[in-house]
Amino acid sequence: MAIANRVEAVVGSKEDAGSKIMRHAGLLSGQLQQLRTRMYPPKSEKTLRPFLTNEVSKLTSIPDSTLKLMSTEGRGPVPSRLENNHRVYTLAQINELRELFMMQKPSDALRFLPRRRAGEHLQVLAIANFKGGSAKTTTCVHLAHYLALHGYRVLALDLDPQASLSALFGAQPEVDVGANETIYAALRYDDAERRPIHDIIRKTYFDGIDLIPGNLEVMEYEHETPRILANKSSSGAIFFERLKLALSEVEADYDVVILDTPPSLGFLTLSAIYAATSMIITVHPAMLDVASMSQFLLMMGDLISVLNESGAQLDQDFIRYLVTRHDPNDAPQSQVVAMLRHLFGSDVLLPTAIESTAVEAAGLAGNVRYTNSNWGRLGAIPTSVPARR
């Protein structure tokens, strides 16, 4: 018996590979579509829930009593009332309050509204690691939520053709994102089709967070770039500069840009690293993942020296490691975390993203319900509920 037959006898069936994969793809995408429509009726849209007075107080450092007094005296934004008559504020109203207090107490302005000031540059934060499942996208979403809740203006940019980030912000990559509506539109090499980055930015349900969605189209950039490099035909910026240049057009509109990168070290990830002013490398504390991260760091080191040789300087404010999907009760994980801390010291962020079924379930439902308590240890705040219309 030939080796292929012997292996096949061990693993299974006779169907040819192409048709089996196509059949499985069809089955799975059909099932996912069904699940999605059941959990998320097509007409449903995500909304951000409003916040109770005590939550607003925690977020803004404006005392409860002041908020209540303002409301009774009719000053400031008018909160809605719940059935039990408790006051609730939208995030837009919370930001209104922030601006109000900032104006009233200029000496304390930064406490009320931590947006960047004159002379401070835009923070472009790349979340990277070519290991899939290291919680890059989850980290992007939670960080974006956290920053927006605290009054920052955030642009979330999906560079991953799998577009999970877009999906979590309610832009289903196959349905809601059309041709030339991803970041590819702003990066592409053909002048006729290229669009200003401003035109592809969309608002999200979350006040203070804008999104540039992704879908399979962004892969075009990985295909086109080597062609352009090979025949040196392109006029304009070389590949790794294009993202940075595009972002500079909307520089004034944001405090933080968060880049969700694909699980590969291609031209998109490289562009992200070049555009970034800081970087978080997410790492799941398991030996295989750490081995893969080691490869990632080696390759990135090589690529950065190539960039340096071509005259490009990387100048990042910080690079940190974030331990993700962390189970503190798991002994092997603890060993890995201890090793990382020993090797990289304070570059490994002290708080870790704890493995939690709440986060996982939220991901499955396409719905992020809790902001991660790691960002400032604020405690879990349910932030989004799917509204049924």
| 212 closest CA partner among 252, 245, 163 | 163
> Under the criterion CB under 5 A, does residue 284 sit at the interface with Mg ion?
no
Instruction: Point out which span in 80-88, 190-198, 291-299, 355-363 binds ligand ADP (CB under 6 A).
Output: 355-363
Phi and psi angles of residue 105, each rounded to the nearest 5 degrees, phi first: -125, 75
Cβ at position 284, least distance to Mg ion in Å: 13
Cα distance between residue 387 and residue 363, in whole Å: 17
> Which amino acid, one-letter code, is at 63?
P
Q: Does 87 bind Mg ion (CB under 5 A)?
A: no
**93 is an interface residue for Mg ion by CB under 5 A:** no
- Which of 67, 91, 135, 270 binds ligand ADP (CB under 6 A)? It is 135
Residue nearer to ligand ADP on the CB measure, 60 or 182: 182
Should residue 134 be labelled a site residue for ligand ADP when binding is judged by CB under 6 A?
yes
Residue with smaller CB distance to ligand ADP, 130 or 206: 130
352 touches 337 (CB < 8 A): yes
125 is written with which tokens? Answer: 């934060």
Going by the DSSP 8-state scheme, the letter that residue 152 receives in this structure is -
> CA–CA separation, 146 vs 164, rounded Å?
18
Part in contact with ligand ADP (CB under 6 A); list of ranges 45-53, 136-144, 266-274, 380-388:
136-144
- Residue count of the chain: 389
Count Cβ atoms below 10 Å from residue 35 Cβ, excluding itself.
13
Shortest Å, Cβ 134 to ligand ADP: 4
Nearer to ligand ADP by C-beta: 60 or 164?
164
Q: Does 137 bind Mg ion (CB under 5 A)?
A: yes
Is residue 325 within the footprint of ligand ADP (CB under 6 A)? yes
Strands (E), the chain: 45-48, 51-52, 80-81, 87-89, 123-128, 154-158, 202-203, 209-212, 256-260, 278-283, 318-323, 384-387
138 binds, among Mg ion, ligand ADP, none (CB under 5 to 8 A by kind): ligand ADP
Contact residues: Mg ion, CB under 5 A: 136-137, 164
